[in-house]
Chain A
Amino acid sequence: MLSQAKMFLRKDKKAVSIMIGYVLLVTSAIVMSVVVYQWIKTYVPTEALECPDGVSVFIKEYSYDCGSDELTIILKNNGRFNLAGYFIHATNESDQELATIDLSNYITSKENKGGTILFSTKNLFEPGDERTSVFDLVNSGLGQIYSVEIIPVRFQEEEGKERFASCGKAKVEEIINCGGVVVEEGGTCTEGEVQDCPLQEGVCEDSQRTCTEDEEWPSCDYGSNYEQTETTCDDELDNDCDGDTDSEDSDCGSCIEDETQLCALQEGVCLGSEQTCTDGAWSECDYGLNYEQTETTCDDELDNDCDGDTDSEDSDCEVECTSHSYFKCYSGDVYWYDSCDVREKKKEECGTSGYTGSNYCYKNDVYRDYVTRGCSDDECTSSTERKKQQECGIIGCSGGKCGTVICTELYNSGYLTEEEYGMDIKYGSTHFSPEALRGYHAFAIPAVKIMRKRPEIIGNILPLVKSFTEEMAYRLGEKENGNEIGALFLDKGLPLFERIGVLINEPDWQLLFDENYQNTNSIFQSQKYDNLVKNYFTEERIEEMFYDALERSEGSDIIFTHNLLENLEKVVEEIESWCNLIY
């Protein structure tokens, strides 16, 4: 029962792993779906930006005075939606099919916003409202106007963004008769008929006109105080009948304290910006931090210069970019850039950082060169530094590995086993004093050089070295029996090496045998005699010691060892006597 329960619990544990798997799977599926959705969305047709069907305006009244070349239009919003303004185009020839003459430039109020008569940056032209627009065509050079065409506009929310929409379907057209006045429900009149003039504010209040005998409405006579544009700003009269008196009228160039009005630019980042009347003058428009007189920031998805074009749509962002204009570092390599700072092809690959070459000995430790590659000041750079791979401690380094010189050479050549070599390292690092090692190295390095030149002598040396490793293993407790030859070498040889070692100053024994090595200290100033030792342990001298010991050995390894140590002692005594003499 208990085992069944355990099995059940085990199965539960497995289920947790599957749960994690499912969570990961579902998460990645969601992430991928979102990414793919964003992309595929651009392929899904969406409804075009259009005004609602209930948008409608009509020209309630107009008056066109050919003599003064002034056109007054009263527009009424008879639809169901608020509007912001309208486009107005006209024809000046009777046979002109399309109204292409933009009249917005000639409106006397400040409602012209780049080809649009805009009452406000919000849809404030409400259903039932009427707006009067007066167009001064005196200096337009257009001649007589034959017809006008009005298209209402409004601001609409589309996918979270407010967009400016032209309501083309709600277009209205009107034939304009010179000197005529058109009123709602037609424009004909009966002789003697009287009606109110289009302008009924200010000095125009209660003004009327009477239908002529030609059954046409004459121009309105608004009296001597009437001004097409308010220029008399101190008579306390609304001379131009626009509802504003003197300084209240923007035509007077002054304003009422703290009054606000829309700034001239009303697109992009300027949308909604206002200026305030301060000390009788309009303040400068502050279009905010994102405003740029000329669009230079072309990647912020903003219409910075308020001309209706965003980023790449704006011609200001069109620049001729020269390829391969300059190069600089990018991501560790050198790349070409065009004059628009767009990265192009890779000019030069600087490579990756990493180790190079093989391990080598330096300062008695194992090192390897590390090359750091990169890019700086527009060009590839590289620097090499040695990095310590292994600290050999007291035992020193040989052939790019930690270990004693002769044993490392024999191990690398395959004469010593892993076990024998390991014994040498272990014993050397725990039982050799620094001085003994330095002395041993002084002897062993030229010895190895001889071994490389005369491989036949390895046959004579190898039994001795194997004896040493056997004795080392015994002394380390790794073997039950020791070795007589090894014991002789360790007991008599190590003290000799120590005697040499105390005379050597240079801790890096490899440098000691560098052909270009010179001790920086004069031997008269130092108690250490590196150069002296080096001169005694020449390859010739050691070769001489070796063959002399071999000749007198009578084929016995122990006698050979004994002779070799005897010859070594003689050299040590010679070095010591020279040192004493010099000192």
Chain B
Amino acid sequence: MKRGLSKNHRGISPVIATVLLIAMVVAIGLVVFLWFRGLVQEEGTKFGKNIKLNCPDVNFEASYSGGVLSVINRGNVPIYQMKLKIFKEGSHETNDLSNWPELGLNQGESFSKNIASEIDSANKIILIPVLIGSSGEGKKTYMCEEQYGYEIII
């Protein structure tokens, strides 16, 4: 019985145990990292940070007068597209703002369009910016939350 428990018959050496432990930690760490990275890439990045974190930095002004909607980008985040949330009596709908510049509205650029027919009997519109970033799968757009939109009471 004692022979079976003698020091000569103990398990693997500490070095091998340590190496195995490190290898397992690295492998598991990599798997977890790649999984999380995949999630991040789904959302995409812009200017080196998650694209949704750029929404608070978007700075634009808009006005609606005589059926003409005017938008000017005063900030430093290009606005790739613009969603138009139209509020009518008891309902609302969200559409793309048509004829938006193909390359987006860059810094200092402005946009004007007659949208009278589009908003019809609306009493309020909210302009919600859509940004574009890059992800592992290529180009990725992201629609900012409504709180970053621009509200115009008509």
**Which of A's residues lie within 8 Å of B, judged by CB?**
14, 17-18, 20-21, 24-25, 28, 32, 35-36, 39, 41-46, 48-50, 87, 89, 95-102, 115-116, 151, 153, 159, 163-166, 168, 171, 307-309, 311-315, 317-318
Q: Min CB distance, B150 to chain A, in Å? A: 11
In the assembly, what is the distance between CA of A318 and CA of B37, in Å? 24
Q: Is the CB of B59 within 8 A of A42?
A: no
User: What 4 additional pairs, Cβ within 8 angstroms, besides A100-B70, A101-B110, A313-B139?
Assistant: A17-B13, A48-B76, A159-B48, A308-B106
Q: Evaluate whether A312 and B138 lie within 8 angstroms (CB atoms) in the complex, with A102-B110, A159-B48 already known.
A: yes
B97 within 8 A of A: no
Residue numbers in A under 8 Å from B74 (CB-CB): 151, 166, 168, 171
Residue numbers in A under 8 Å from B132 (CB-CB): 312-313
Q: Is the CB of B49 within 8 A of A45?
A: yes
27 A-B pairs with C-beta separation under 8 A: A17-B15, A21-B15, A28-B25, A28-B26, A42-B49, A43-B50, A44-B49, A49-B47, A89-B72, A89-B108, A96-B70, A97-B65, A98-B70, A99-B110, A100-B72, A100-B112, A101-B110, A102-B110, A151-B108, A166-B76, A168-B59, A308-B103, A308-B106, A309-B103, A312-B139, A313-B139, A318-B139
Q: Evaluate whether A317 and B139 lie within 8 angstroms (CB atoms) in the complex, with A42-B49, A99-B72, A115-B109 already known.
A: yes
The A interface, classified by DSSP as helix, strand, loop or mixed, is: mixed
Q: Evaluate whether A41 and B108 lie within 8 angstroms (CB atoms) in the complex, with A98-B70, A312-B134 already known.
A: no
Q: Evaluate whether A39 and B15 lie within 8 angstroms (CB atoms) in the complex, with A166-B74, A312-B139 already known.
A: no
**Which of B's residues lie within 8 Å of A, judged by CB?**
13-15, 18-19, 22, 25-26, 29, 33, 36-37, 40, 45, 47-50, 53, 56-57, 59, 61-63, 65-66, 70-78, 102-103, 106-112, 132-134, 138-139
For A318, give the chain B residue with the smallest CB separation: B139
Residue numbers in B under 8 Å from A95 (CB-CB): 65-66
Q: Is the CB of A89 within 8 A of B110?
A: yes
**Out of A21, A41, A97, A315, which one reaches B70, CB within 8 Å?**
A97
Residue numbers in B under 8 Å from A97 (CB-CB): 63, 65, 70
Q: Evaluate whether A45 and B14 lie within 8 angstroms (CB atoms) in the complex, with A102-B110, A309-B103, A315-B102 already known.
A: no
Residue numbers in B under 8 Å from A39 (CB-CB): 33, 36-37, 40
Residue numbers in A under 8 Å from B14 (CB-CB): 14, 17-18, 21
For A87, give the chain B residue with the smallest CB separation: B108
Residue numbers in B under 8 Å from A171 (CB-CB): 74
Q: Is the CB of A49 within 8 A of B25?
A: no
Q: Is the CB of B33 within 8 A of A42?
A: no
Q: Is the CB of B15 within 8 A of A100?
A: no
Among B14, B48, B49, B108, find the residue whose CB has the most chain A CB atoms closer than 10 A.
B108
In the assembly, what is the distance between CA of A373 and CA of B122, in Å? 68
Residue numbers in B under 8 Å from A313 (CB-CB): 78, 132-134, 139
Q: Min CB distance, A47 to chain B, in Å? A: 9
Q: Is the CB of A48 within 8 A of B48?
A: no
Closest 5 CB pairs of A and B: A21-B18, A48-B57, A87-B108, A100-B110, A168-B74
Q: Is the CB of A32 within 8 A of B26?
A: yes
For A32, give the chain B residue with the smallest CB separation: B29
Q: Evaluate whether A98 and B61 lie within 8 angstroms (CB atoms) in the complex, with A21-B14, A87-B108, A116-B108 already known.
A: yes
Q: Min CB distance, A51 to chain B, in Å? A: 9
Residue numbers in B under 8 Å from A115 (CB-CB): 106, 108-109
Q: Min CB distance, A30 to chain B, in Å? A: 12
Q: Is the CB of B49 within 8 A of A43?
A: yes
Q: Is the CB of B63 within 8 A of A98?
A: yes
In the assembly, what is the distance between CA of A312 and CA of B139, in Å? 5
Q: Is the CB of A46 within 8 A of B15?
A: no
Q: Is the CB of A24 within 8 A of B37?
A: no
For B58, give the chain A residue with the smallest CB separation: A48
The B interface, classified by DSSP as helix, strand, loop or mixed, is: mixed
Q: Is the CB of B108 within 8 A of A49?
A: no
For A48, give the chain B residue with the smallest CB separation: B57
Q: Evaluate whether A48 and B36 lie within 8 angstroms (CB atoms) in the complex, with A97-B63, A98-B70, A100-B70 already known.
A: no
Residue numbers in B under 8 Å from A89 (CB-CB): 72, 108, 110
Residue numbers in B under 8 Å from A24 (CB-CB): 18-19, 22
Q: Is the CB of A50 within 8 A of B70?
A: no
Q: Min CB distance, B126 to chain A, in Å? A: 17
Residue numbers in B under 8 Å from A159 (CB-CB): 48
Q: Min CB distance, B23 to chain A, in Å? A: 9
In the assembly, what is the distance between CA of A318 and CA of B140, in Å? 11
In the assembly, what is the distance between CA of A145 and CA of B15, in Å? 81
Q: Min CB distance, A483 to chain B, in Å? A: 46
For A156, give the chain B residue with the smallest CB separation: B76
Residue numbers in A under 8 Å from B49 (CB-CB): 41-46
Residue numbers in A under 8 Å from B111 (CB-CB): 100
For B51, give the chain A residue with the smallest CB separation: A42
Q: Is the CB of B102 within 8 A of A28?
A: no
In the assembly, what is the distance between CA of A171 and CA of B75, in Å? 11
Residue numbers in B under 8 Å from A100 (CB-CB): 70-72, 110-112
In the assembly, what is the distance between CA of A165 and CA of B47, in Å? 13
**Out of A21, A35, A307, which one reaches B103, CB within 8 Å?**
A307
Residue numbers in B under 8 Å from A17 (CB-CB): 13-15, 18
In the assembly, what is the distance between CA of A102 and CA of B78, in Å? 17
In the assembly, what is the distance between CA of A42 and CA of B49, in Å? 4
Residue numbers in B under 8 Å from A153 (CB-CB): 107-108
In the assembly, what is the distance between CA of A95 and CA of B74, in Å? 21
For B77, give the chain A residue with the smallest CB separation: A48
Among A21, A42, A115, A153, find the residue whose CB has the most chain B CB atoms closer than 10 A.
A42
Q: Evaluate whether A45 and B53 lie within 8 angstroms (CB atoms) in the complex, with A39-B36, A307-B103, A312-B138 already known.
A: yes
Q: Is the CB of B33 within 8 A of A35?
A: yes
Q: Evaluate whether A25 and B18 lie within 8 angstroms (CB atoms) in the complex, with A87-B108, A100-B112 already known.
A: yes
Q: Min CB distance, B109 to chain A, in Å? A: 6
In the assembly, what is the distance between CA of A36 and CA of B33, in Å? 7
Q: Min CB distance, A193 to chain B, in Å? A: 37
Q: Is the CB of A42 within 8 A of B15?
A: no
Q: Is the CB of B75 within 8 A of A166?
A: yes
Q: Is the CB of B76 within 8 A of A42?
A: no
In the assembly, what is the distance between CA of A491 and CA of B128, in Å? 105
Residue numbers in B under 8 Å from A32 (CB-CB): 26, 29, 33
In the assembly, what is the distance between CA of A24 and CA of B22, in Å? 7
Q: Min CB distance, B90 to chain A, in Å? A: 29
In the assembly, what is the distance between CA of A159 and CA of B57, in Å? 17
Residue numbers in B under 8 Å from A307 (CB-CB): 103
